[in-house]
């Protein structure tokens, strides 16, 4: 197993800059996730690590060795593709055996290794089937088998769960994490599903438009997003944003010119110290930190109209409307609510994120 | 329309209309396909000889077939035809495949394809004539330059179409010129239709270019390959137009394929029944051959 | 061991410091040479494909002396004499006209019948559609030289030899399998949903087909029509044997130029050009769809 280091990696496709100056270190035995929306460049980065794309500038190191321009076969990486990329004309056994045959292992060796992998992934019964006869989950396991059997330095996975149905996804999330922990492998995987990223990775890298937005552990990123993009991308339901104006004299945030949120002295002071020109801000509050009640609470609050409710079993997601803004609150099932009903909404300053409206940078 | 009536109509619609639509086709194909076959079957066991119209018609069983099988010319024709078909198809295939793989890597494939269509769509008779002209001893442009080339190296190049030893190969070469584009087009389309992911997986798995070609490209192309080999073999076997114009079967009987032999039997000597018998033999060979090929295709009946 | 090098590669300059870069350079070089060779091969192939007809056309513009000259003449002033001879003395006009009428009519007929048949095969699932398709193709197995015989006899009995009509009918029938082959592939590509939407909206299947499928299938139909046109235009065997006089088409007519002792190559060249050039132009016009049609028949299961 080994480290992966990317230095100043960039890639252009024609005029489009897909990847811009990526610096990244993946530690040995780490499960790292590249997370981001479609088109942000995460798959391109993965393919550059694999050697399927060559960068325009920058370097790639695997296991301390510089591999930037090496063919994939010389890099000792294994990859699991989004659509599994199984060889359609070969049986499951032959699919997994393929990399071993390339390395000219003897038949007994091959049989040995495949048996072990089949045991690990529970695919013994399907060894003689063709890919066209497999279900999605089975195909994925075969694809994994083909990667594992090589005992490579690095595992790369391109959207490993996106081709599965929702139920399988939930199951495989935990299974995959367990598997890789057991194998003690260095794994880099790419996804656009933040839930996958949060639950499966040791560390996450959030990307957007070819650049790294933030690196860190899932909890890190969730609790301390560096900018509003990251804050908005992580978390389900997504964080609620309110654009507001900062009135430094009064020490208040004014939303939609009617709602006034009082800032504590320390916060107010902090903001003034940050930048004397600070004016337009964006408030961010996560749905589970919004409190609702039928009667006016003693702390600061305001009234909003119930737009629609989404029951989720033990919890409920209430869509609320205030003036033109729509936002969501997640609460335990309790209050009976109807569409159009007016209820009191409040939240606490300590759960509040503040972002600069223009740059998106987190201020708190 | 009441619901009941509508149901009835759509019931009939499902049953009859499809057959209605395709009936003209079936009818015509029957006339063109089955009837001649029956006619020829009948002919072959009688002794109709348009060259000898005074002979009364009688059933002579397999006499015609026996005659053919005892004819040395027949066996010569078999030899010529097998050589022609075998060499032409195999060379066309590999050339076509090579060209297709090369064309995949470069842009501007459309321009290339434009030129390549020309040999395919040209009238076969014209192909024969054009090459006959170009290969005409001393007069033809190709013959001339080949002569000069030979002179430079001190070799005497034999007359390409008049020399009995070389003529067959020349004819094969012309066929290659004409039909390699066919192989190219089909194989190119086939190559393009392959998904690229298994290939990337193979690259990551460590396979070299040649290995990928052998273990992944070729197997995945198998259905396409089989179809175009089948079609081309049948067509090559039945080739008539070009050969008739290029050499007429000669010199001697160097290029006397079964088709030429058949033509001579039926329309020069007017041994009609014998011709019919020969045609049946040829058909039989083709049936066996294509059956074998279709079995090779396995479950992919792509017809 | 690091090597600092100032390098230009594809889009920009960069100072690169690596040793994997060196192996990359070798790879790039080999790749460039490979590309060059490929282009070379492709261009040569194009020339080879193009040359014979080009030469024939050139010959047709030569005088008799020039055509027979050795060494072959490459530069000359073009003359239309051979064309004039063909049309005014050797009745080429009749043959051309026959070819046009026969090809276009048979093309039209076979496309109409065949498209309807193909539509039926693809749209309505009924038993035996697979085997019909297979059987349609097995029609190809019989050597055409053999098939002429019975047709010849029928023609003789019915007194229909040497008429345009008989050739039209014959060609239409022979081309039917091809039409079905190509149109089936194309029609399978056209999604049924739109038709079904139209039918749900109240149209009968016929109206839906006419309003929805037909426009979408037009390019395919045209390509198929032209493909079949080419087939009948180029057809030699049947025309040769069945139409020896008034209804003779172009391909057999070239033979008459050959039977006069010394072959008049410049006239042959003219005949060749008249026959081939329209076809090639047509083919080039629809080549994209033509190729699609041909290959679809093969790639579809």
CA distance A213 to A221: 10
CB contact under 8 A, C132 and B26: yes
Q: Which residue has the tokens 């004309």?
A: A89
User: Is residue A362 included in any domain, yes or no?
Assistant: no
Give the HSE-up count for residue C67: Cα atoms under 13 Å, Cβ half-sphere: 26
Instruction: Please indicate if any CB of chain A lies within 8 Å of the CB of C29.
Output: no
pLDDT at position A92: 92
Q: Which of A277-291, B67-81, C72-86, C270-284 has the lowest mean pLDDT?
A: C72-86
Question: C interface mutation test: which of B24, B25, B190 has the most C CBs within 10 A?
Answer: B25
By C-alpha distance, the chain A residue nearest B206 is: A73
* Under 8 Å between Cβ of C49 and B119: yes
Least confident of A194-208, B123-137, B158-172: B158-172
pLDDT for C8: 42
Per domain, the residue ranges of chain B are 72-297
Q: Say how many C-beta atoms besides its own lie within 10 A of residue B149's C-beta.
A: 11
Position A79 scores a pLDDT of 92
Higher local confidence (pLDDT), A254 or A105? A105
Chain A residue closest in CA terms to C17: A59
Same domain, A74 and A184: yes
Nearest by CB to residue C276, choosing from B123, B134, B185, is B123
Regarding whether A221 and A93 lie in a shared domain, the answer is yes
Please tell me the predicted confidence (pLDDT) of residue C139: 72
Summarised one tens digit per residue, pLDDT across range B26-77 is: 777 777 777 778 888 877 777 777 766 666 677 777 777 777 888 888 888 8
Does residue C126 register a pLDDT over 70? Answer: no
Q: Do A250 and A153 sit in the same domain of this protein?
A: no
Report the CATH number of the B72-297 domain: 1.10.3720.10
Task: DSSP for B63-80, please give it.
Answer: HHHHHHHT-HHHHHHHHH
Q: Would residue A303 count as lying in a domain?
A: yes
Q: What confidence category does residue B11 fall into, taking pLDDT thresholds of 50, 70 and 90?
A: low
**Is pLDDT larger for residue C130 or for residue B35?**
B35
Half-sphere exposure of A258 (CA within 13 A, CB side): 9
The mean per-residue pLDDT over the stretch A101-117 comes to 89
Contact at 8 Å (CB) between A249 and A308?
Answer: no
Indicate if A193 and A262 belong to the same structural domain. Answer: no
| Average of per-residue pLDDT across C144-168 | 78
Instruction: Enter the tokens of residue B271.
Output: 């041994």
> Could you tell me if C254 and B246 are in contact, meaning their C-beta atoms sit under 8 angstroms apart?
no
User: Which residues lie closer than 8 Å to A297 by C-beta, 6 or more apart?
Assistant: A291, A344, A346
pLDDT digits (tens, 9 = 90+) for A297-324: 877 888 888 888 888 888 888 888 888 8
Average pLDDT over residues A192-214: 90
Percent of chain B whose pLDDT exceeds 70: 86
Residues A170 and A248 in one domain: no
- What digits encode the pLDDT tens for the residues A215-273? 999 998 988 888 888 988 888 888 888 888 887 777 777 777 777 777 777 777 777 77
C-chain CB neighbours of B232 within 8 Å are none
Q: Does A307 touch chain B (CB under 8 A)?
A: no
In chain C, whose CA is at the least distance from the CA of B275? C146
Query: Are A205 and A94 in the same domain?
Result: yes
Q: Is C15 exposed, middle or buried (0-12, 13-18, 19+ CB in 10 A)?
A: exposed
Please list the residues that pair with A253 across neighbouring strands: A246, A261
- Report the number of distinct structural domains present in chain A: 2
Q: Please give, rounded to a whole number of angstroms, the shortest distance from the CA of C202 to a CA of chain A.
A: 37
Please indicate, yes or no, whether residues A280 and A300 belong to a single structural domain of this protein: yes
Q: Which of B201, B216, B298 is the mutation pick for testing A, counting most A CBs within 10 A?
A: B201
- Nearest residue of chain C to residue A15 (CA atoms): C11
Cβ atoms A290, A325 nearer than 8 A: no
Query: If DSSP codes are grouped into helix, strand and coil, which group holds residue C153?
Result: helix
The complex's ipTM?
A: 0.80
Query: Does A254 lie in the same domain as A115?
Result: no
Residue A1: pLDDT band with limits 50, 70, 90: low
- Report the residue from C143, C170, C172 with minimal CB separation from B259: C143
Q: Which chains contact C through at least 3 pairs of Cβ atoms less than 8 Å apart?
A: A, B
**What domains does chain C contain, in order, with CATH numbers?**
88-299 (1.10.3720.10)
Give B173-215 pLDDT, tens digit per residue.
999 999 999 999 888 888 888 888 999 999 999 888 889 999 9
Model confidence at A32: pLDDT above 90:
yes
Contacts of C23 in chain A (CB under 8 A): 69-70
| Contact at CB, C23 and A56, closer than 8 angstroms | no
Among A178, A208, A233, which residue terminates a domain? A233
Q: How far is B137 from chain A (nearest CA, A)?
A: 52
Q: Which residue has the higher pLDDT, C120 or A122?
A: A122
Range of the domain at A10: 4-233
Pair (A100, A128) in one structural domain: yes
Mutate to test the interface with A, among C5, C6, C8, C20 (most CBs of A within 10 A): C20
Same domain, yes or no: A325 and A212: no
Task: Look at residues A233, A251, A273 and tell me which one is the last residue of a structural domain.
Answer: A233
In a domain, A361, yes or no: no
| Cβ–Cβ gap C20/A68 under 8 Å | yes
- φ, ψ of residue A280 to 5 degrees: the values are -95, 125
Q: Which residue has the higher pLDDT, C141 or C14?
A: C141
Per-residue confidence at C298, pLDDT binned at 50, 70, 90?
Answer: low
Report which of A232, A163, A222, A151 is spatially closest to residue A191, judged by C-alpha positions: A163
Helix, strand, coil share of chain B (percent; to 5): 75, 0, 25
**Does residue A14 form part of some domain?**
yes
The answer to whether residue A160 scores a pLDDT higher than 90 is no
Beta-carbon separation of A68 and C23 below 8 A: no
CB atoms within 10 A of CB C201: 8
Q: Which pLDDT belongs to residue A203?
A: 92
Cα A302 from chain centroid (whole Å): 34
Quick check: C71 and B224 CB within 8 A? no
| Chain B residue numbers touching A91 (CB-CB < 8 A) | none
Interface contact flag, B28 C113, Cβ < 8 Å: yes
State yes or no: pLDDT of B2 exceeds 80. Answer: no
* pLDDT tens digits along C219-275: 888 888 888 898 888 888 888 877 777 777 788 887 776 665 567 777 778 888 888
**A32-61 residues touching B, CB cutoff 8 A:** 50-52
**Number of other CB atoms surrounding residue C70 within 10 Å:** 12
A87/B203 Cβ within 8 A: no
- Does residue A98 sit at the B interface (CB-CB below 8 Å)? yes
Q: Taking CB atoms and an 8 Å cut-off, how many pairs form between chains A and B?
A: 56
In A, residues 66-95, which contact C (CB 8 Å cutoff)?
66-70
Q: What is the pLDDT of residue B129?
A: 85
Confidence tier at C3 by pLDDT (50, 70, 90): very low
CA–CA gap between residue B270 and residue C156 (Å, rounded): 15
pLDDT of residue C125: 62
B203 in reach of chain A (CB within 8 A): yes
- The 10 Å CB-count burial string (b at 16+, else e) for B218-257 is eebbebbbbbbbbbbbbbbbbbbbbbbbbbebebebbbbb
């Amino acid at each position: 197993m080994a480290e992966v280091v990317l230095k100043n990696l960039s890639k252009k496709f024609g005029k489009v800059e897909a990847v811009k100056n990526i610096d990244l270190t993946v530690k040995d035995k780490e499960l790292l996730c590249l997370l981001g929306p479609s088109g942000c460049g995460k798959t391109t980065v993965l393919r550059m690590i694999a050697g399927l794309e060559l960068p325009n500038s920058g370097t790639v190191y695997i296991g301390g060795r510089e591999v930037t321009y090496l063919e994939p076969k010389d890099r000792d990486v294994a990859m699991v593709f989004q659509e599994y990329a199984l060889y359609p004309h070969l049986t499951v056994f032959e699919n997994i055996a393929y990399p071993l045959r390339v390395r000219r292992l003897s038949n007994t060796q091959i049989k040995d290794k495949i048996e072990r992998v089949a045991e690990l992934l529970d695919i013994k019964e399907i060894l003689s089937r063709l890919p066209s006869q497999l279900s999605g989950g089975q195909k994925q396991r075969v694809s994994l088998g083909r990667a594992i059997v090589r005992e490579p330095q690095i595992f790369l996975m391109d959207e490993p769960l996106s081709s599965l149905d929702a139920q399988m996804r939930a199951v495989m999330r935990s299974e995959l994490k367990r598997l890789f922990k057991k194998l003690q492998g260095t794994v880099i995987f790419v996804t656009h599903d933040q839930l996958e990223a949060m639950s499966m990775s040791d560390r996450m890298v959030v990307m957007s438009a070819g650049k790294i937005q933030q690196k860190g552990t899932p909890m890190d990123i969730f609790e301390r997003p560096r900018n509003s993009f990251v804050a908005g991308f992580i978390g389900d339901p997504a964080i609620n944003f309110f654009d507001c104006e900062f009135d430094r004299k009064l020490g208040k945030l004014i939303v939609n010119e009617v709602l006034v949120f009082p800032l504590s002295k320390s916060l107010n002071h902090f903001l003034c110290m940050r930048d004397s020109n600070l004016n337009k801000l964006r408030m961010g509050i996560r749905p589970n930190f919004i409190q609702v009640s039928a009667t006016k609470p003693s702390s600061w609050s305001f009234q909003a109209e119930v737009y629609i409710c989404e029951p989720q079993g033990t919890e409920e997601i209430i869509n609320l409307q205030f003036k033109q803004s729509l936002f969501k609150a997640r609460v335990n099932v309790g209050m009976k609510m109807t569409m159009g009903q007016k209820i009191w909404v409040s939240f606490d300053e300590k759960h509040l994120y503040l972002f600069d409206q223009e740059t998106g940078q987190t201020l708190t | 329309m009441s619901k009941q009536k509508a149901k009835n109509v759509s019931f009939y619609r499902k049953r009859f209309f499809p057959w209605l639509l395709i009936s003209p086709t079936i009818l015509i194909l029957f006339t063109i396909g089955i009837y001649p076959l029956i006619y020829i079957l009948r002919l072959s066991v009688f002794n109709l000889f348009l060259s000898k119209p005074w002979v009364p018609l009688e059933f002579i069983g397999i006499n015609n077939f026996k005659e053919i099988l005892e004819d040395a010319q027949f066996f010569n024709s078999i030899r010529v035809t097998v050589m022609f078909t075998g060499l032409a198809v195999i060379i066309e295939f590999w050339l076509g495949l090579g060209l297709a793989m090369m064309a995949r890597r470069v842009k501007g494939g459309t321009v290339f394809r434009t030129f390549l269509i020309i040999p395919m769509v040209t009238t076969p008779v014209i192909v024969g004539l054009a090459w006959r002209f170009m290969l005409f001893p001393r007069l033809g442009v190709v013959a001339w330059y080949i002569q000069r080339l030979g002179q430079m190296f001190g070799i005497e190049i034999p007359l390409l179409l008049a020399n009995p030893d070389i003529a067959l190969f020349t004819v094969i070469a012309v066929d290659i010129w004409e039909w390699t584009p066919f192989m190219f087009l089909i194989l190119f389309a086939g190559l393009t239709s392959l998904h690229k992911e298994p290939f990337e997986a193979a690259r990551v798995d460590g396979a070299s270019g040649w290995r990928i070609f052998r273990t992944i490209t070729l197997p995945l192309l198998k259905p396409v390959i089989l179809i175009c080999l089948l079609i081309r073999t049948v067509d090559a076997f039945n080739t008539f137009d070009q050969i008739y114009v290029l050499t007429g079967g000669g010199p001697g009987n160097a290029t006397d394929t079964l088709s030429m032999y058949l033509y001579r039997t039926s329309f020069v000597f007017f041994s009609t029944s014998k011709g019919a018998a020969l045609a049946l033999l040829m058909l039989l060979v083709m049936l066996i051959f294509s059956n074998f090929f279709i079995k090779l295709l396995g479950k992919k009946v792509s017809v | 061991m690091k090597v600092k090098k100032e390098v230009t590669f594809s889009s920009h300059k960069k100072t690169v410091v690596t040793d994997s870069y060196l192996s990359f350079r070798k790879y790039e070089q080999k790749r460039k040479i490979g590309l060059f060779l490929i282009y070379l091969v492709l261009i040569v192939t194009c020339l080879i494909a193009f040359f014979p007809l080009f030469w024939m056309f050139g010959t047709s513009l030569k005088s008799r002396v020039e055509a027979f000259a050795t060494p072959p003449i490459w530069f000359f002033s073009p003359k239309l004499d051979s064309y004039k001879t063909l049309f005014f003395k050797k009745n080429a006009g009749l043959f051309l006209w026959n070819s046009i009428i026969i090809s276009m009519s048979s093309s039209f007929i076979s496309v109409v019948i065949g498209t309807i048949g193909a539509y039926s095969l693809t749209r309505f699932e009924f038993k035996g559609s697979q085997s019909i398709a297979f059987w349609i193709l097995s029609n190809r197995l019989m050597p055409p030289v053999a098939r002429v015989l019975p047709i010849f006899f029928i023609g003789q009995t019915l007194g229909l030899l040497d008429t345009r009509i008989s050739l039209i009918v014959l060609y239409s029938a022979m081309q039917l399998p091809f039409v079905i082959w190509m149109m089936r592939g194309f029609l399978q590509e056209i999604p049924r949903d739109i038709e079904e939407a139209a039918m749900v909206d109240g149209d009968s299947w016929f109206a839906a087909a006419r309003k929805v499928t037909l426009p979408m299938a037009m390019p395919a139909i045209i390509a198929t029509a032209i493909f079949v046109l080419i087939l009948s235009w180029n057809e030699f065997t049947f025309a040769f044997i069945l139409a020896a006089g008034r209804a003779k088409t172009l391909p057999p007519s070239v033979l008459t130029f050959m039977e006069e002792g010394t072959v008049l190559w410049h006239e042959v060249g003219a005949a060749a050009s008249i026959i081939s050039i329209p076809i090639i132009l047509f083919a080039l016009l629809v080549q994209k769809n033509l190729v699609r049609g041909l290959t679809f028949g093969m790639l579809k299961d």
